[in-house]
Structure 1
Amino acid sequence: MHRILHVFRAPVGGLFRHVVDLARLQAAAGHQVGIVCDASTGGERAAQALAQLAPCLALGVLRVPMNRNPHPSDLAALRALMVQARTVGATVLHGHGAKGGVYARTAVIAGTSPIRAYTPHGGSYNYKPGTLRHRFYMGIERLLALRTDVFLFESEYVAARHRAYAGTARLARIVHNGICESEFQPVPLADAPYDLLYIGELRDAKGVPYLLEALGRLRREGRNLRLLMVGSGPDADLLAARVRTMGLAGAVAFEPPQPIRSVLSRARVMVVPSLAESLPYVVLEAAAAQHPLVSTNVGGIPEIFGTFAPRLVPPRDAGALKDGIVRVLDEAPEARAALFADLGASVKARFSMQRMGADVLSGYAAALRDRPRAGAHTSAVTVSTISTEVRKPVQ
Structure 2
Amino acid sequence: MSPTPPDAGAPRRILHVFRAPVGGLFRHVVDLTRLQAAAGHAVGLVCDATTGGARAEQMLDTLAPMLALGVLRVPMRRNPGPGDLAALRAVARRAEAVGADVLHGHGAKGGAYARLAPVRRVGCGPIRAYTPHGGSYNYRPGSPLHRLYMGVEGLLARRTDVFLFESAYVAGRHRAYVGPGRTVTRIVHNGIDEAEFAPVLRAEDPFDLVYVGELREAKGLPVLLDALAALHAAGRPLRLLMVGSGPDEAALAARAAALGLGTAVAFEPAQPIRPVLARGRVMVVPSFAESLPYVVLEAAAAAQPLVATDVGGIPEIFGDAARDLVPPRDAGALAGAVARLLDAEPAVRDARFRALSESVRARFSMRSMGESVLSGYEAGFRARARAPLPAAGRPGPASA
TM-score by length of 1: 0.94
Separation (CA, whole Å) in 2 of partners of 1:360 and 1:236 = 35
Separation (CA, whole Å) in 2 of partners of 1:375 and 1:223 = 67
The question of 1:248 aligning with 2:248 is answered no
- Alignment partner, residue 395 of structure 2: none
Is the partner of 1:147 in helix, strand or coil?
coil
Among 27, 31, 56, the alignment partner of 1:17 is: 27
Q: Deviations over 1:242-270 (max 9, x none)?
A: 11111100100000001000000011000
Among 253, 261, 272, the alignment partner of 2:274 is: 261
Separation (CA, whole Å) in 1 of partners of 2:112 and 2:351 = 45
Q: Deviations over 1:274-301 (max 9, x none)?
A: 0000000000000000000000000000
Aligned residue runs from structure 1 range 26-175, under 5 A = 26-112=36-122, 113-170=125-182, 171-175=184-188
Letter in 1 for 2:121: G
Separation (CA, whole Å) in 2 of partners of 1:52 and 1:239 = 33
Separation (CA, whole Å) in 2 of partners of 1:30 and 1:21 = 15
Separation (CA, whole Å) in 2 of partners of 1:206 and 1:302 = 16
Is the partner of 1:191 in helix, strand or coil?
coil
Separation (CA, whole Å) in 2 of partners of 1:159 and 1:375 = 27
The question of 1:332 aligning with 2:345 is answered yes
The question of 1:179 aligning with 2:174 is answered no
- Alignment partner, residue 385 of structure 1: none
Separation (CA, whole Å) in 1 of partners of 2:339 and 2:260 = 21
Please tell me whether the aligned partners of residues 156 and 300 of structure 1 are also in contact (alpha carbons under 8 angstroms).
Answer: yes
The question of 1:313 aligning with 2:326 is answered yes
Q: Deviations over 1:38-89 (max 9, x none)?
A: 0000011101110001011100000000011111000000001111000000
Q: Deviations over 1:109-144 (max 9, x none)?
A: 113310100000111000111111111111110001
The question of 1:190 aligning with 2:203 is answered yes
- Alignment partner, residue 322 of structure 1: 335
Q: Deviations over 1:278-332 (max 9, x none)?
A: 0000000000000000000000000000000000000000000011101110110
The question of 1:301 aligning with 2:314 is answered yes
Q: Which runs of 5+ in 1 are unaligned?
A: 377-395
Separation (CA, whole Å) in 1 of partners of 2:384 and 2:326 = 44
Among 221, 235, 239, the alignment partner of 1:226 is: 239
Please tell me whether the aligned partners of residues 200 and 274 of structure 2 are also in contact (alpha carbons under 8 angstroms).
Answer: yes
Please tell me whether the aligned partners of residues 105 and 111 of structure 2 are also in contact (alpha carbons under 8 angstroms).
Answer: yes
Separation (CA, whole Å) in 2 of partners of 1:111 and 1:18 = 29
Deviation at 1:373, TM superposition (A): 2.1
The question of 1:371 aligning with 2:381 is answered no
Is the partner of 1:254 in helix, strand or coil?
strand
CA RMSD of the aligned region, Å? 0.8
Separation (CA, whole Å) in 1 of partners of 2:289 and 2:356 = 22
Separation (CA, whole Å) in 1 of partners of 2:195 and 2:178 = 38
Deviation at 1:186, TM superposition (A): 1.3
- Alignment partner, residue 392 of structure 2: none
Separation (CA, whole Å) in 1 of partners of 2:144 and 2:54 = 36
Separation (CA, whole Å) in 2 of partners of 1:178 and 1:214 = 31
Please tell me whether the aligned partners of residues 243 and 267 of structure 2 are also in contact (alpha carbons under 8 angstroms).
Answer: yes
Please tell me whether the aligned partners of residues 42 and 68 of structure 2 are also in contact (alpha carbons under 8 angstroms).
Answer: yes
Deviation at 1:169, TM superposition (A): 3.6
Letter in 2 for 1:299: G
Please tell me whether the aligned partners of residues 89 and 118 of structure 2 are also in contact (alpha carbons under 8 angstroms).
Answer: no
Deviation at 1:168, TM superposition (A): 1.1
Deviation at 1:375, TM superposition (A): 3.6
Separation (CA, whole Å) in 1 of partners of 2:257 and 2:387 = 59
Among 296, 305, 316, the alignment partner of 1:292 is: 305
Deviation at 1:179, TM superposition (A): 1.0
Q: Deviations over 1:154-212 (max 9, x none)?
A: 00000000001111142100000001000011102111100000111111110001100
Separation (CA, whole Å) in 2 of partners of 1:110 and 1:37 = 21
Please tell me whether the aligned partners of residues 151 and 172 of structure 1 are also in contact (alpha carbons under 8 angstroms).
Answer: yes
- Alignment partner, residue 286 of structure 2: 273
Q: How many residues align?
A: 376
TM-score by length of 2: 0.93
- Identical amino acids, percent of aligned pairs: 69
